[in-house]
Chains A and B, each alone.
Chain A
Amino acid sequence: MELFFSQILDGLSIASVLLLAATGLAIVFGLMGVINLAHGELMMLGAYVTFVVQNLFKPLGPAIFELYYPVALILAFIITAMVGVLLERTLIRKLYGRPLETLLATWGVSLVLIQLIRSISTSMLIGILAAVAIGLIGSKFMAKKIGDKPYFTYLNGLMWAFSLGIGLIVVNSMSSVRQLSSPWFGPRNLDVSPPKWLQGSWGKIGTVELPGIRVFIILLSIFLLIGVLWFLSKSAWGLRIRAVTQNRQMSNCLGIPTDRVDSITFGLGSGLAGVAGAAITLLGSVGPNLGTAYIVSCFMVIVLGGVGNLLGTVLASIMLGIIQSVVGSGSILIVFPNLPPALKGVVEFFATTSMSLVLVFIFIIVFLQFKPNGMFPQKGRSVDA
């Protein structure tokens, strides 16, 4: 019984991480039909925000330092949400109605974000700002002068390439000054320490230890889930989001500003990714590759859960989490010690972390044979649904 309970707790804690990471993705996918492959990198940004906040709080003394984590969570949400809105306004919007292309473009964004985090330095920031400023001013100026000419687009592109070149020159000119050109983070993993009140155990149930971090993440994911549900069902914007999810054209006709709904949804999804990233700093490392480790698991959750309902995401996370913890730790063998040897061999074969992922995938493929659109398919009258 105790073993069972501790397995369930482990499974729930894996599930809560999956849920945190997948909720944002599911909301964006459900509403816009867009898969954001840069979602993992937005999580990474959230983790880096946590790192920066931690370092800002360090000089303030141990008592105040303990409070850095809630601040980091909120800031991670705000900053990644802003990045998300920026992304939606500049890129995703241009690809509207082309979900496959969006997928590829967001992968491009994720590559850029990874390398940006690795190599960003003061000189690089100045270079980027210079290039964007020159580009924006130049393109405004050109639009005024030759905006009606047919070759405007091409010259404008040339001008952007030119401003990029200037940016590169600016970066290079500062490369000898170490204070400016040394990267802020570099490719290394960074050290984020949870505050004291999260470390260690939060008590016991029976003999099962309750690790503070795990319990906190479970609580955080429940809290966020309730928050998101409240936002979607009770607030005015939530109503609009639901309306657009159900029928975009009709909503548009009825005067709902669908483009702002898109921005807000994408911002919300990105902000949730940021919070997930901040939560993951408690469990693992903070490095440029943080996001890639989680993104595929998030996809599995979405495929299993379907897109119509957040409840699907919740159930799918819990199922995947529990399968991983029960199979991956091989505790089936402890519960049923008298399995026939052939079956025992099979169980042992899958009782590693790698192989439990394989099993999860097989499970999903089999599941899809019966429920091709996930647990809670979106209801509608279109033949596609």
Chain B
Amino acid sequence: MAISETTLKEVEEMAIKEINDAGGVTVADKNYKIVPVIEDGASDWPTFAEKSQKLIDSDGVNVVFGGWTSASRKAMLPVYEAENHMLFYPIQYEGQECSKNIFYTGAVPNQQAEPAVQWLMDTYGESLGKKVYLVGSDYVYPRTANTIIKEQMKALGGEVVGEDYIPLGNTEVAPIIAKIKEVFPEGGIIINTLNGDSNVALFKQFQAAGIDPEKYKIMSFSIAEEEIRQIGPEFTAGTYAAWNYFMSLDTPASKKFVEDFQAAYGDDRVVGDPAESAYNMVYLWKNAVEKAGTYDDLDKVRETMIGITFDAPQGEIEMFPNHHTSERVMIGEAEPSGQFKILQDSGTAIPPLPWNQFVPETKGYTCDWTQDRPDAGKFRM
């Protein structure tokens, strides 16, 4: 299990323990305890598919919670569709997908990337010009997210002046810095969708090359509290991030979530948006199973799932007919402490739009699994 997934596993185990300690899941007036079966995808997509198959066939599980990168989800998706089974996926992703067999509890671009770009333009569009530079890891999430951002920038009357991708795990960012300095000699807006190790290299070398937050406004979509700890807070201080949950969110539900986690796994640990999503999905499933009165009639659970709500640490969220959850959207500025100062907050949860409305190919399309039609996953509104 790689770098950040461990926290998600721990949060899910915490949610399961909470549910079991409170008496378990009540199905048809009987109480059931949840028994987790844990498999390791080893950051290898075929292994994700293999282990999913094993969980369904050999272990006979009723639901699977998991996945990290988009590629891991894409590898697992056919298994769940072929078996007509159920997967919960906790990470913010690029959208442009809507499977009957997957429930997505992370943000889609209209719940993270689009509000963030809008905020950047509103705040810095005047002083720095409506120009952005895009840096991302070389895989599907950054590529698709950047396609969306390009269309959005067009709609906002701005432009994308540069776009760069680094292979996953590569730490050689010198050519990118050279290009950024070429197009933005005096400062500008950079949107960062790098994942993993490359972020460390990017922020360390940004600082060395004099790309500081005073002049350059950097917005990241894959950097949460956990990643800041790994990069070093002094390198990220002053940059921005958009998420549906920040550990610093000052509400009783959020505080309880943080306290419970730290009590179980150590005071020095942090949680972030992906961990919160992972926590939510266990409870969403529990609520749906209790309402449906069955845990092994997956079709019934799936139907009941829609409209289920949960009082998440971020506030109330709801599962929509397109199998995505509504999410609160917040913009935060990283502080030297490693926490985020919340600059903007949508307050309420924003409904998900899995098919992007900026991209011409998917504009006007929607997804609704309550409708009885063969193309319920993608049809014209």
Direct A–B contact present (CB less than 8 angstroms): yes
Cβ–Cβ < 8 Å partners of A292 in chain B: 169
Residues B197-221 near A (CB distance < 8 A): 197, 199-201, 204-205, 207-210
Cα–Cα, bound, A341→B6 (Å): 49
- The answer on a CB contact under 8 Å between B1 and A284 is no
- Inter-chain CA distance A17–B205, complex, in Å, is 14
* Chain B residues closer than 8 Å to A352, beta-carbon distance: 138, 164-165
Q: Is B140 part of the binding interface, using a Cβ–Cβ cutoff of 8 Å?
A: no
Find chain A residues with CB under 8 A from B209 CB. 201, 209, 211
User: Is A191 on the interface with B (CB-CB < 8 A)?
Assistant: yes
Knowing A188-B230, A285-B230, A354-B138, the reply to whether A13 touches B174 (Cβ < 8 A) is yes
Does A14 count as interface, using CB distance less than 8 angstroms? yes
* Interface size range on A against B: 35 or more
Q: Judging by beta carbons under 8 Å apart, are B174 and A10 in contact? A: yes
CB distance from A319 to the nearest CB of B (A): 15
Q: Are A353 and B172 neighbours in the complex by a CB distance under 8 Å?
A: yes
With contact pairs A10-B174, A201-B208, A330-B179 given, residues A285 and B197 touching in the complex (Cβ less than 8 Å): yes
Please, which residues of chain B bring their CB within 8 A of the CB of A200? 207-208, 210
**Distance, CA A186 to CA B204, complexed state (A):** 22
B51 at the interface (CB under 8 A from A): no
Closest B residue, CB atoms, query A293: B169
Contact of B84 with A by CB under 8 A: no
Residues of B within 8 A of A198 (CB): 208
Q: Find out whether the CB atom of A328 lies under 8 angstroms from the CB atom of B197.
A: no
Interface centre among B167, B172, B178, B209 (most CB of A within 10 A): B172
B98 at the interface (CB under 8 A from A): no
- Are A329 and B200 in contact (CB-based, < 8 A)? no
Interface flag for B157 (CB, 8 Å): no
Task: Give the shortest distance, in Å, between B73 (CB) and chain A (any CB).
Answer: 21
* A287 to B198 CA separation, bound complex (whole angstroms): 12
Please, how many angstroms separate the alpha-carbon atoms of A200 and B171 in the complex?
Answer: 19
Instruction: Give the residue name and chain of the B residue nearest to A192 (CB).
Output: B232
Chain B residue nearest in CB terms to A354: B167
Report the Cα distance A134→B6, complex, angstroms: 34
Which residues, 230 to 272 on A, are CB-close (under 8 Å) to B? none
Select which of B2, B204, B234 is within 8 A of A284 by beta carbon: B204
A211 touches B175 (CB 8 A): no
Residues of B with C-beta under 8 A to A289: 169, 197
Residue of B nearest to A216 (CB): B208
The distance in angstroms between the C-alpha atoms of A255 and B172, with both chains bound, is: 46
Q: Are A14 and B174 in contact (CB under 8 A)?
A: yes
A39 at the interface (CB under 8 A from B): no
Q: Which of B108-145 contact A (CB under 8 A)?
A: 138
Bitwise, B267-308 to A at CB < 8 A (1) or not (0) is: 000000000000000000000000000000000000000000
Indicate if the CB atoms of A293 and B234 lie closer than 8 Å.
Answer: no
- For residue A213, CB closer than 8 A to chain B, the reply is yes
> Which residue in B171, B172, B205 is a CB contact (below 8 Å) of A324?
B172
Per the bound structure, the CA–CA distance linking A293 and B138 in Å amounts to 15
Q: Is the C-beta of B231 less than 8 angstroms from some C-beta in chain A?
A: yes
Complex Cα distance, B201 from A287, in Å, reads 12
Q: Is B229 interfacial (CB 8 A cutoff)?
A: yes
Does B346 make an interface contact (CB < 8 A)?
no
The residues of B that contact A156 with a CB separation of less than 8 Å are none
> Which one of A190, A211, A334 contacts B205 once the chains associate, using CB atoms below 8 Å?
A211
A residues 7-24 near B (Cβ < 8 Å) are 7, 10, 13-14, 17
B2 in complex: contacting residue of A10, A187, A193, A211, CB < 8 Å: A187
Q: Mark B164-192, 1 if CB is under 8 A from A, else 0.
A: 11110111101111110110000000000
Interface string of A177-200 (1 = CB under 8 A from B): 000000000111111111000111
* Cβ A283 vs Cβ B171 within 8 A: yes
Contact B208–A213 (Cβ < 8 Å): yes
Chain A residues near B161 (CB, 8 Å)?
none
From A198, which residue of chain B is reached at the shortest CB distance?
A: B208
- CB of A188, distance to nearest CB on chain B (Å): 5
Shortest beta-carbon distance from A356 to chain B in Å: 8
A213-B208, A282-B204, A285-B200 given; A329·B176 CB < 8 A:
yes
Contact between A283 and B205 (Cβ–Cβ < 8 Å)? yes
Residues of B within 8 A of A190 (CB): 230
Kindly supply a per-residue 1/0 record for chain A positions 264-298, scoring 1 wherever the CB is within 8 Å of any chain B CB and 0 otherwise: 00000000000000001011110101101100000
Assess whether A33 is interfacial by the CB under 8 Å rule. Answer: no
> Given the interface contacts A14-B172, A187-B2, does A209 sit within 8 Å of B210 by beta carbon?
yes
Q: How far is the CB of B213 from chain A (nearest CB, A)?
A: 13
Chain A residues closer than 8 Å to B201, beta-carbon distance: 283-285
Contacting B at CB under 8 A, from A294-335, are 324-325, 328-331, 334
Whether B171 pairs with A213 at a CB distance below 8 angstroms is no
Given A3-B182, A193-B232, A284-B200: A325 in contact with B175 (beta carbons within 8 A): yes
B28 at the interface (CB under 8 A from A): no
* 8 Å CB contact of A211 from B1, B169, B172, B210: B210
The smallest beta-carbon distance between A115 and chain B, in angstroms, is 12
Determine if A353 and B175 form an interchain contact, defined as CB atoms under 8 angstroms apart: yes
CB B44 to nearest CB in A, in angstroms, measures 13
Asked whether B205 lies within 8 Å of A189 as measured between CB atoms, the reply is no
Choose among A209, A211, A214 the residue with the greatest number of B CB atoms under 10 Å from its CB: A211
The 19 listed contacts between A and B (C-beta, < 8 Å) are A14-B174, A189-B197, A189-B200, A189-B230, A193-B232, A194-B204, A200-B208, A201-B209, A284-B197, A285-B231, A287-B230, A293-B169, A324-B172, A325-B175, A329-B175, A331-B178, A331-B182, A353-B176, A354-B165
Please name 11 further chain A to chain B contacts, defined as beta carbons within 8 Å, in addition to the given A212-B208, A353-B165, sorted by A numbering. A186-B6, A187-B1, A188-B230, A189-B200, A213-B204, A214-B208, A287-B230, A328-B175, A352-B164, A353-B170, A354-B166
* Closest CB pairs A-B (n = 3): A285-B200, A284-B171, A329-B175
